[in-house]
Structure 1
């Protein structure tokens, strides 16, 4: 690890430890207030409002802990069952939902041990670096104070300048050890929180079913909209041209004997109309399944898209085979949509596409050096990507801080077939 990266990671972990210490202090008051709200349950009006409200606060605290864990490299899923569709936090249905959701009680059970562990590890991650800094700057203070009762490291007390000088290398070692250990301490804290705050097997299954239900509904809606678009394009485009073509050929048949020159002109117009109709049909089919995808595979198709866009785009593909046709088509369209978003919205100078297959999942990363600030709520492009991936149980993750860079990470579970020989099957 580079020194700069090591230092930045360690200092962030130390700052995270300080933040964890501050948050851990809130756990005990939060537990007391939640128990008081639970105790007020017999008072129907007050209890039905107080407990749901305090549970919202409790879950906000747990969600904050999940964010801290994610920064430490430990992902903790959100385990809560979908609540009743109520605008207000009170009500019997919401009260019942809270008490019957196991995740609520797991959050409550985490408050005390979580506070103890976060406080202890956070204090260690803070005290060790501070002690190291103390050793580095100790000698001038010792000389100024002129006392022999103060000690550091191996020397208690410090009785000579030589012993005072030894505090500096000791402090550097302790500071380096503290910065090195801080990320590890944060991960230990995060893994302990995961024991309580992560979904159980039953909760994961329940959330999985809920996610699939929503994603399948979105997929059905998207497919219905796509079918309406195809129907409209056929009706307004190719069908209209074919009807006109038939009428033109009919007129040419009628005029073939009376006015051969006019008939030949009509047949020439019919030929031009047939060419235009064929082009429209090809474009329509390309929107359903591009021919380049069938001919060259995902690697060649993505490279063709990259070459057609007005900025340099590097493509790196490592696929030992080809995904199934529906998955391959979905992968192509989400990458194409992500690259289109780069051109339209990012003001980027360069972009990159990476496609790898690992552990039964097709991972696709589209990145750019643009202005950042991408938000799925601000447009339909990223939402469309998410919906298309969800149809195949895929996922999308977005990182786009203001100022960039923007990184869109997409994954699709799939199985690869045997590789097919293609001039575009290399990696580059």
Structure 2
């Protein structure tokens, strides 16, 4: 049996139900319906009445249009209330089914909402909730919870009564404490007996809310597609920013450092032997090292070879610069692919070869790459000790997320003793024919 029930119905099957928080969650969920139902009823009545009355002078038409969107905020609140009694791991019942408008502005938002089926389901729920459901919720809480609590407090009511008598639930007249305590004992027995029906009612009420307000499978697919497009836009923006930084460093800081290095070199030649010449020599050497580091940094941000020669030349370049000898098999060369695909593949190979040099103890590595016409396939293999764990901070987790945005996959097989194989697959079209380094 599940030790962590996710709904009142699951909790009712648990023997510790009465000792858990679930009865009070159920009571809070049902009682909370009045807190939202009363305002919803008032808003519905006011908008409908004002809109109908003012329609002949056209002023009421916007009010009637607004009436169609009342369910949107009501549903948002109800989904949050649903968390009291619905703790499914996916959280789908409390997820909004609405998409984000492609354009900013209230008009674009309203236009999209009117076209969504979820808006009309939410309006139906708002009408049902305002006119009926909260009344039923309150009546059930008053009956199943209020009645036994009222019986339990009979002695207290008698003590506070000015005339020394109290009429319990308008039925029984009590004038002394023995019958008052007897009624309180009956309430103590009745309370746990009615807490189970209360949980069942809350479960049914939550199921109705979920049926009307939870996103449908098609809506979830649309939301997932929207998230994927949003992540792709973020990746494109990230790549554009990387390119801008690379250009700024290449055309700005690097050129200034080159000029500084040349100036120091000329000053070093003109200076007479002595302490000044030694300091100029040291400064010239340090400027050369800074320039070399800056060029390496620029190369890491976005290598120029990737722009000029495509993935074929870039992979050959990274293999040549690897600390571990690398054999490359690129066939007859790769075609030009979309920039995000080339960048993700390039940095994936860079990360794999960097991990090979740092952690694997490999004597040799190999990079193979092919484009099948529909997808880019890359494999990086090494003959190291194996046992690589991507979750141990290798840097491949973020890369896998980046490739997932492109609908690609990154897999690693690394049994103890090796070999380690990193496989990368990204579906992508060809931009231009094969390019050679």
User: 1:78 aligned to 2:96?
Assistant: yes
Question: In structure 1, what is the equivalent of residue 123 of structure 2?
Answer: 108
Q: CA 1:224–1:169 in structure 2 vs 1: closer, same or farther (change >3 Å)? A: farther
Alignment of 1:129-168 (within 5 A): 129-139=145-155, 141=157, 164-168=180-184
**Alpha-carbon distance, 1:20 to partner:** 0.5
Question: In structure 2, what is the equivalent of residue 213 of structure 1?
Answer: 229
User: 1:270 aligned to 2:284?
Assistant: yes
Q: CA 1:150–1:62 in structure 2 vs 1: closer, same or farther (change >3 Å)? A: closer
**Alpha-carbon distance, 1:228 to partner:** 2.1
Aligned equivalents of 1:284 and 1:186: distance in 2? 61
**Alpha-carbon distance, 1:58 to partner:** 2.9
**Alpha-carbon distance, 1:246 to partner:** 4.6
Alignment of 1:128-277 (within 5 A): 128-139=144-155, 141=157, 164-172=180-188, 174-175=190-191, 186=202, 188-233=204-249, 235-237=251-253, 240-249=256-265, 252=268, 254=269, 259=273, 264-277=278-291
User: 1:328 aligned to 2:382?
Assistant: no
Alignment of 1:51-130 (within 5 A): 51-73=64-86, 75-81=93-99, 100-111=115-126, 113-114=128-129, 116-130=132-146
Highest CA radius of gyration, 1 or 2?
2
Mapped contact 1:69–1:76 kept (Cα < 8 A): yes
Mapped contact 2:72–2:123 kept (Cα < 8 A): no
Mapped contact 1:245–1:274 kept (Cα < 8 A): yes
Q: CA 1:32–1:135 in structure 2 vs 1: closer, same or farther (change >3 Å)? A: closer
Mapped contact 1:81–1:207 kept (Cα < 8 A): yes
Q: CA 1:233–1:118 in structure 2 vs 1: closer, same or farther (change >3 Å)? A: farther
Residue 20 (structure 1) aligned to one of 33, 39, 49: 33
Mapped contact 1:24–1:114 kept (Cα < 8 A): yes
Q: CA 1:173–1:215 in structure 2 vs 1: closer, same or farther (change >3 Å)? A: farther
Question: In structure 2, what is the equivalent of residue 339 of structure 1?
Answer: none
| Deviation per residue, 1:301-329 (Å, 9 max, x gap) | xxxxxxxxxxxxxxxxxxx9415977624
Aligned equivalents of 1:44 and 1:100: distance in 2? 27
**Alpha-carbon distance, 1:137 to partner:** 1.9
Mapped contact 1:114–1:193 kept (Cα < 8 A): no
Q: CA 1:179–1:286 in structure 2 vs 1: closer, same or farther (change >3 Å)? A: farther
Which one is further off, 215-224 or 241-250? Answer: 241-250
**Alpha-carbon distance, 1:49 to partner:** 1.9
> 3-state DSSP class of the match of 1:225?
helix
Mapped contact 2:25–2:84 kept (Cα < 8 A): no
Alignment of 1:386-425 (within 5 A): 417=412
Q: TM-score, normalised by structure 1?
A: 0.52
Q: CA 1:201–1:28 in structure 2 vs 1: closer, same or farther (change >3 Å)? A: same
Return 5+ residue gaps in structure 1 as ranges: 298-319, 332-388, 394-412, 422-428
Q: Matched residue pairs, number? A: 317
Q: CA 1:228–1:86 in structure 2 vs 1: closer, same or farther (change >3 Å)? A: closer
Mapped contact 1:7–1:179 kept (Cα < 8 A): no
> 3-state DSSP class of the match of 1:123?
helix
Aligned equivalents of 1:259 and 1:390: distance in 2? 56
Question: In structure 2, what is the equivalent of residue 356 of structure 1?
Answer: none
Return 5+ residue gaps in structure 2 as ranges: 4-15, 88-92, 303-346, 361-387, 417-437
Aligned equivalents of 1:296 and 1:37: distance in 2? 73
Mapped contact 1:40–1:47 kept (Cα < 8 A): yes
**Alpha-carbon distance, 1:100 to partner:** 3.7
Q: TM-score, normalised by structure 2?
A: 0.51
Q: CA 1:149–1:275 in structure 2 vs 1: closer, same or farther (change >3 Å)? A: closer
Mapped contact 2:47–2:67 kept (Cα < 8 A): yes
> 3-state DSSP class of the match of 1:65?
helix
Which one is further off, 143-152 or 213-222? Answer: 143-152
Aligned equivalents of 1:22 and 1:246: distance in 2? 76
Mapped contact 2:144–2:194 kept (Cα < 8 A): yes
**Alpha-carbon distance, 1:216 to partner:** 2.8
**Alpha-carbon distance, 1:80 to partner:** 3.4
> 3-state DSSP class of the match of 2:140?
helix
Q: CA 1:321–1:124 in structure 2 vs 1: closer, same or farther (change >3 Å)? A: farther
